[in-house]
Amino acid sequence: FLIWASKMKTVSDLQQNKDGLRAGYHCGYCDSVAGKASCGMWAHSMTVQDYQDLIDRGWRRSGRYVYKPVMNQTCCPQYTIRCRSLQFQPSKSHKKVLKKMLKFLAKGEISKGNCEDEPMEPSMEDAVAGDVALINKLDLQCDLKKLGDNLKESLEREVKKKGKSTKKEESNEFIQSQDKNEELGSGEPSHAVDVHTAPKPGKGADLSKPPCRKAKEIRKERKRLKLMQQSPAGGPEGFQAPREPKTKPNQPKSLEELIFESLPEDASHKLEVRVVRSSPPSSQFKATMLESYQVYKRYQMVIHNHSPDEPTVSQFTGFLCTSPLEPENPPNGPDCGYGSFHQQYWLDGKIIAVGVIDILPYCVSSVYLYYDPDYSFLSLGVYSALREIAFTRQLHEKASQLSYYYMGFYIHSCPKMRYKGHYRPSDLLCPETYVWVPIEQCLPSLENSKYCRFNQDPEAADEGRSRDPDRLQVLYKKAILPYGVFKQQQREPGEEAAVLQYASLVGQACSERMLLFRN
């Protein structure tokens, strides 16, 4: 592999399996032996804008490997899902998880009964099954020699005045303490296609309707209406309409108020969330990588039944540490910059969970989560997602365009993987026109068919489709050529079909910015 690129370009190598398609291999969602189908490529260097545009066309990365499910062929269609974080309101079950964490931190209480967490994604290896051997051909090794000599650097938090967000930056990294209090800005999300369909009865809660009100509120409303109906003037004789309260009624607590609720001085536990850059690895990341790896190893053994020999350090770094994303720190971007990070959850001085995330121009993209199985009772899958939504809202204060939380793929055909639809409001990506459609309007169609086109306008097309493949950029013998020039020099069978497929999958804009490596 040739690993070379200008800093302003993305270099990728289309996987050479016939026409780039990989089909008939194991699915980690439905356990089908040969039902999965996807296209993929190795991305050696990628700008954050290129990756933002790719995930908005249904792509997703695993380490340096970037893949896109073939939606109309794969056994479990995987729809890109995003949460509109600025409008997000935690559900009753979300609040229970947050209260459970606060009780544990404050008093050491461990909730009794069923502490089952939301189901997790299949192991990262399942996402790119069959490609593990190829990973060793890339430069994925971290410098482990010096890790044992590095001391853990202490990060202290600084509390600012009440109502303002608290953060400390050290080497462009953040630490979020449990008693931190934030005040978030506002912003409007980009438009989504409005598709009017009614949910089917008998299929669970109607997500298009507002949540139920408390019985007490309903009784008061009925009484007020009854009294008003007794008199033409709007109320019975001798009845004095209640005065409007001087202050607004109690509003439900925000996500930040629930997360960062103050703890007593004698709290039983202390939780800190540290955001460290994983690629290129920062000094804090290097100092904690071995500890993080041990947590991942225990997670895979207990949760995914892997043998004690798996995963190796090389596999761990290949899937969860290395990234093709080039770090960027523009003045109008978030303080930590853009790129790939690990969000480490430190409980009483040790790592208990790690969220792998990408910070992109318009979103925080969740890549993976792993945690110490001893702390499963804290529902860390739900808790980390809520923390990442709050983190997205925090970043929005500095970078106004960054307002979405991408949760990876939503898989409706796999019931245990539908939990991502509980983070509302959220949208699904139409697999044919690549526009966002509110999930409530997609669910009726998904009940009838695994694969659906969500955009119901029959005239609508993919606006970003490849219109002029000859302008696609190729990296060949250390030279950058338009594909129109390159194809005149090549007569390899199947070459043109593979390149045209690549162009159709990445779209015109990315095909002109990115460099497709050919040998």
In-domain check, residue 214:
no
In-domain check, residue 224:
no
Domain that holds residue 265: 2-141+259-463
Instruction: Cite the beta strand spans of 431-508 per DSSP E.
Output: 436-438, 473-476, 479-482
Rounded to whole angstroms, the Cα distance separating 420 from 416 reads 10
Q: Looking at the structure, do residues 59 and 30 belong to the same domain, yes or no?
A: yes
CB atoms within 10 A of CB 477: 9
Q: Looking at the structure, do residues 26 and 120 belong to the same domain, yes or no?
A: yes
286: left (phi over 0), alpha (psi -120 to 50) or beta: alpha
Rounded to whole angstroms, the Cα distance separating 482 from 452 reads 35
CB distance 437 to 193 below 8 Å: yes
Q: Looking at the structure, do residues 479 and 340 belong to the same domain, yes or no?
A: no
Q: How many domains does the chain have?
A: 2
Q: Looking at the structure, do residues 425 and 490 belong to the same domain, yes or no?
A: no
pLDDT band at 495 (very low <50, low <70, confident <90, very high): confident
In-domain check, residue 169:
no
Task: Please state, in angstroms and as integers, the Cα–Cα distance from residue 88 to each residue in 256, 337, 405, following that order.
Answer: 11, 24, 10
Give the chain's radius of gyration (CA, Å): 25
The tokens 């923390």 sit on which residue?
Answer: 387
Q: Looking at the structure, do residues 346 and 486 belong to the same domain, yes or no?
A: no
Whether 481 shows a pLDDT value over 90: the answer reads yes
- When pLDDT is averaged across residues 403-416 and rounded to a whole number, the result is 96
Whether 480 shows a pLDDT value over 90: the answer reads yes
Q: Looking at the structure, do residues 451 and 488 belong to the same domain, yes or no?
A: no
How high is the pLDDT of residue 251? Answer: 82
Q: Three-state SS for 401?
A: coil
CB distance 279 to 325 below 8 Å: yes
Rounded to whole angstroms, the Cα distance separating 282 from 345 reads 17
- When pLDDT is averaged across residues 82-86 and rounded to a whole number, the result is 98
Whether 244 shows a pLDDT value over 50: the answer reads no
Q: Looking at the structure, do residues 325 and 268 belong to the same domain, yes or no?
A: yes
Which of the two residues, 56 and 185, has the higher pLDDT score? 56
Q: Looking at the structure, do residues 449 and 377 belong to the same domain, yes or no?
A: yes
Question: Tens digit of pLDDT for each residue in 199-213?
Answer: 444 545 555 555 566
Question: Tens digit of pLDDT for each residue in 296-335?
Answer: 999 999 999 999 888 999 999 999 999 999 999 999 999 9
In-domain check, residue 442:
yes
Give me the amino acid identity at 321: C
In-domain check, residue 212:
no
Q: Looking at the structure, do residues 7 and 23 belong to the same domain, yes or no?
A: yes
Q: What percent of the chain has pLDDT over 70?
A: 71
- Of the candidates 96, 101, 112, the one whose C-alpha atom is nearest the C-alpha of residue 179 is 101
Q: Looking at the structure, do residues 302 and 420 belong to the same domain, yes or no?
A: yes
Joined tokens for residue 51:
């990756």
Task: Please state, in angstroms and as integers, the Cα–Cα distance from residue 447 to each residue in 103, 393, 411, 450, following that order.
Answer: 39, 32, 12, 7
How high is the pLDDT of residue 225? Answer: 65
The helix/strand count (H/E) of the chain reads as 12, 17
Q: Looking at the structure, do residues 349 and 401 belong to the same domain, yes or no?
A: yes
Whether 462 shows a pLDDT value over 70: the answer reads yes
For the question of whether the overall pTM of this predicted structure is more than 0.85, the answer is no
CB distance 39 to 73 below 8 Å: no
Joined tokens for residue 133:
């051997």
In-domain check, residue 402:
yes
In-domain check, residue 57:
yes
Domain end marker among 445, 463, 481: 463
CB distance 392 to 403 below 8 Å: yes
Q: Looking at the structure, do residues 469 and 456 belong to the same domain, yes or no?
A: no
In-domain check, residue 232:
no
Rounded to whole angstroms, the Cα distance separating 274 from 345 reads 7
